Chain A
Amino acid sequence: MSEAPVAPAEAAGVVGVRVVSKAFGGVHALRGASFAACAGEVHGLVGENGAGKSTLIKLLGGRLPPDTGSVMLDERAVRLSGTADAARHGIGTVFQELTLLPWMSVAENLLIGREPRSAIGLIRRGALAREAEAVLAGLGIHHIDPRALAAEVSLAERQIIEIARVIIRRPRILLLDEPTSSLAEREVEWLFARIRELRDQGTSIVFTSHRWNEITAIADRITIFRNGQEVGTFTTIDEAKAITLMTGRRVDALYPSLPPVPDGAPAALALAHGSLDGRTEFAFSLAAGEILGIGGLAGQGHRELFLGLFGAPALRRGRISVGGKPVRIANPADAIRAGFGIALVPEDRKTEGLLLSLPVRDNLSLPLLRRISRLGVIRGGAEMRMSREMISGLGIRTPTPMQPVGALSGGNQQKVLVGRWLLAESRILLLYDVTRGVDVATKHEICELMVRLAGEGKAILFYSSDTEELAHLCHRVLVLRGGRIAAELNRPELTAESIVAAAMRDAA
């Protein structure tokens, strides 16, 4: 075990790239990068967003051809014409974007192209579901109904199906691009158990994640990317050093320290007699200057709670008050106008948050158009000035306010969504997994921003699929289980372990 870079040539790689470059328009995603993974190893790939990890996976998985350089398979350059061609070479890939067909059943998605057929070639539908059930059970998955439509199961379950679909095809090279970003702790453990099995059978596994503890838990070797090039490959490396290499600058502490909630801080947002299932009730209140975490396994009602407080749609039951006054919230417009103003940064920034092909400026000003318009005409100067202020205030990395927001990195997109609500002067922020799929350095910035905003008296309700983050960043954490609050954890007993324990208690 050493921290010295291992030369890629030391071990014979089964899959890799040699001096590849790939550009999209004027943006160079990879510039002369080389990489090799061996049989029977888990190779962690880390780097900031935009470092080239996903592009590398796409080249290896046959989704994109390199501009220059070559994809290597068993030490020979190969030309992959597509993912099907890659599959013929034994390469299976779980890409970052989900690819399930939403209106087909889990079973159909899972076994697509290899369905059980009758003598005359028709798909045997009854056998299909039974076979899918058996296949899932063989992988240790028991809670997903193979007859459900893919659109009906949760994001985490969809991700599990994506992974299962690739694994059952027995690839000898398995590429996983951010497979854990929508998974909760227990599901990650499930995935790691599968990965270890495959590795021990000699499969070569390339794995990317923004969660450092996952990388160190599973990876045999780690390759760090920065700006489209590999920086080095290591067998062990500590987090601080890795972050320095990834970002090219030092990050002092992973989580900023949290100032205490001022004594007697007024309640900004309170929910009484709230209910997600229409049966059990719960209540909580969130003080100005407080970061209140919502934890628990995926699919326990977090999403419904966040959307419900924002009126999209309203909670089944519950009385919401803002600043001590009861408010009626039937839709997002009500929430935005209610009292201090409620804001939501939703789960999926691409489908629920942003107008991807419109400029950063338009995305920032969307909720405050009424305020910056006179007789329905937008005051262009004011709009531009506010956008520039927010761009520099939050350090959003964009060449101009007119850049389409879809061209920004994930972390910067997330900052645009937060910035929008700061411009709208919302004082209650509902942040749903804001750090998901965001690189380490930007994650750090977002954490610092949250702490700063709390210090300025904003009330923050925060859900994260990263338990570690909840434990470090929140004053209090409510653990949801089965649509109700299973536990309230305060400092000092608030730790990642205590959250997980509360989330799993009597959940078999």
Chain B
Amino acid sequence: MKRLSLSPDALRVLAAYGAAVLLFVIGAFVHPGFASFGSITSILLVATFVGLVAAGQCFVVLVGGIDLSVPWVLNAAAILLATSSLGQDSRAAYAVVLTLGMGLVAGFANGVGVVWLGVPAVVMTLAMNGIIEGLALGLTGGMTCGACASYAPPVIAASVHDVWLGVPAALWLWLVVILIVSFVLGLTRFGRITYAIGNNPRAAYLAGINVSLTTVCLYGLSGLFSALAGILLVGFGGQASLGMGTPYLFQSIAAVVIGGVSILGGRGNYLGAAAGAVSLTALVSVLLALNMPDYGRSIIYGVVILALLLLYGRDQRE
């Protein structure tokens, strides 16, 4: 008997989008104007940063890994962009390449530690987070250096804030990222191998797949996306500051989980994680509109993640 039904994975993605829509509707009741076009685009703009970090997180979670080095890779990227560009457009291209390169190298280092040194992903990426934090604080003298106060080059600020067709440029960029990542995961050899490894690394290896190299690349991509988010955050806020990456660890993992990507690897896609980023940001905005204090929001975050892991974790085990 064939039944007309969606796969559980597709249902989760739909559920994540449904949650986002629902939250906007609730928001509109709580606070008139919440669902206005301007309000929606500004919420989506905030979600963009979570979404970009979640893209990297999604790649490593798909192979059953995790990247806890997100906060300081992002933060170091923001600082590196500001200090290397000195706020000048002429130096912006060089600064962007340098910064993305830094993210990529940090990610590769994570991958090498996990794959070839056999360090568990949690330990390796947490250690990397600490190392980069130390480097960033040391090299900038705790953000007291002269260049540390530099503003984002105007061209980078514009690439976040400029409005095309009524929508901020960063949102267009995110849309492009969503398309590219979905394409890579869904239609390319690299994507297929990623799912294969996440499903069963031993079977993938015995089918002739270079599991080690692929895994290192995936960690590299995570570093790259954290760095990209760091660059755009400087453009968004104007300056780099200490601790600006901190919220993104929890939020990126939450977005991935809400979007239906299995924390054990092998299942889910970035379309879901992007929806997860939107629902998470919308949830925060609704709570803000309700004048919920910080601590209350933290508790609600935690409860949402636990609830989803319980819900999705169960049907994993059948």
Residues of chain A at the chain B interface (Cβ within 8 Å): 26, 310, 312, 331-333, 335-337, 344, 346, 351-358, 362, 365-367, 369-370, 373, 376-378, 380, 399, 420
Contacts and interface: CB of A to CB of B under 8 A. Distances in A.
Given A26-B1, A358-B196, A399-B2, A378 B187 contact: yes
Contacts of A358: 195-196, 199, 266
A276 B195 CA distance: 34
15 contacts: A332-B207, A332-B208, A335-B208, A344-B206, A351-B200, A352-B202, A352-B206, A354-B203, A357-B199, A362-B196, A365-B192, A369-B193, A370-B189, A377-B189, A378-B188
Interface string B258-273: 0000000011000000
A355 B202 CA distance: 10
Given A355-B204, A377-B189, A366 B209 contact: yes
Taking each of B206, B210, B267, which has the highest tally of chain A beta carbons within 10 Å of its own beta carbon? B206
Contacts of B209: 333, 366
Contacts of A366: 192, 196, 204, 207, 209
B200 A380 contact: no
A369 B192 contact: yes
Nearest to B184: A376
B29 interface: no
B189 A373 contact: yes
A354 B207 CA distance: 9
Nearest to A420: B207
B207 A377 contact: no
List 3 tightest A-B contacts by C-beta distance, closest first.
A355-B199, A336-B208, A333-B208
B120 to A, nearest CB: 16
A356 B203 CA distance: 10
Interface in B168-221: 187-190, 192-193, 195-196, 199-200, 202-210
A189 B204 CA distance: 37
Contact of B206 (A26, A353, A369): A353
Given A352-B206, A354-B203, A355-B204, 6 more contacts: A331-B205, A337-B208, A346-B206, A351-B200, A369-B193, A377-B188
B32 to A, nearest CB: 45
Nearest to A337: B208
B114 to A, nearest CB: 19
Contacts of A354: 200, 203
Contacts of A352: 202-203, 206
Q: Is the interface of A mostly helix, strand, loop or mixed?
A: mixed
Contacts of A353: 203, 206
Contacts of B317: none
Nearest to A344: B206
B206 A355 contact: no
A193 to B, nearest CB: 36
Interface residues of B, number: 24
A373 B200 contact: no
B3 interface: yes
Contacts of A331: 205
A335 B208 CA distance: 8
B185 to A, nearest CB: 12
Contact of B192 (A26, A351, A357, A378): A378
B218 to A, nearest CB: 15
Interface in B96-142: none
A357 B188 contact: no
Contacts of A373: 188-189
Given A351-B200, A362-B196, A399-B2, A357 B207 contact: no
B129 to A, nearest CB: 29
A399 B3 CA distance: 12
Nearest to A399: B2
Contacts of A332: 205-208
Contacts of B193: 369
Contacts of A351: 200, 202-203
Contacts of A312: 205-206
Contact of B200 (A310, A337, A356, A367): A356
Nearest to A354: B203
A83 B34 CA distance: 54
B195 A355 contact: yes
B10 to A, nearest CB: 12
B215 to A, nearest CB: 15
A163 B187 CA distance: 47
A370 B190 CA distance: 10
Contacts of A310: 206
A367 B207 contact: yes
Contacts of B195: 355, 358, 362
Nearest to B266: A357
Contact of A333 (B189, B199, B200, B210): B210
Nearest to B316: A357
The CB with the most chain A CB atoms within 10 A, among B189, B190, B195, is that of: B189
A366 B203 CA distance: 10
Given A366-B196, A367-B208, A399-B2, A355 B190 contact: no
Contacts of B200: 351, 354-356
Contacts of B266: 355, 357-358
Given A355-B199, A358-B196, A26 B187 contact: no
A399 B2 CA distance: 9
Contacts of A356: 199-200
Contacts of B267: 357
B62 to A, nearest CB: 12
Contact of B189 (A337, A346, A355, A376): A376
Contacts of A399: 2
A334 B234 CA distance: 47
Contacts of A378: 187-189, 192
Nearest to B2: A399
A377 B187 contact: yes
Given A352-B202, A355-B203, A362-B195, A376 B208 contact: no
Contacts of A362: 192, 195-196
Interface in B36-78: none
A357 to B, nearest CB: 6
B3 A26 contact: yes
Contacts of B203: 351-355
A376 B208 CA distance: 16
A378 B203 CA distance: 20
Interface string B209-241: 110000000000000000000000000000000
A356 B3 CA distance: 21
A310 B192 CA distance: 23
A319 B137 CA distance: 55
Contacts of B1: 26
Contacts of B208: 332-333, 335-337, 367
B187 A380 contact: yes
A335 B206 CA distance: 10
B265 to A, nearest CB: 10
Contacts of A370: 189
Contacts of A346: 206
A369 B202 CA distance: 17
Q: In this complex, which of A331, A358, A373 has the most chain B Cβ atoms within 10 angstroms of its Cβ?
A: A358
A310 B207 CA distance: 10
A353 B187 CA distance: 23
A377 B203 CA distance: 22
A386 to B, nearest CB: 14
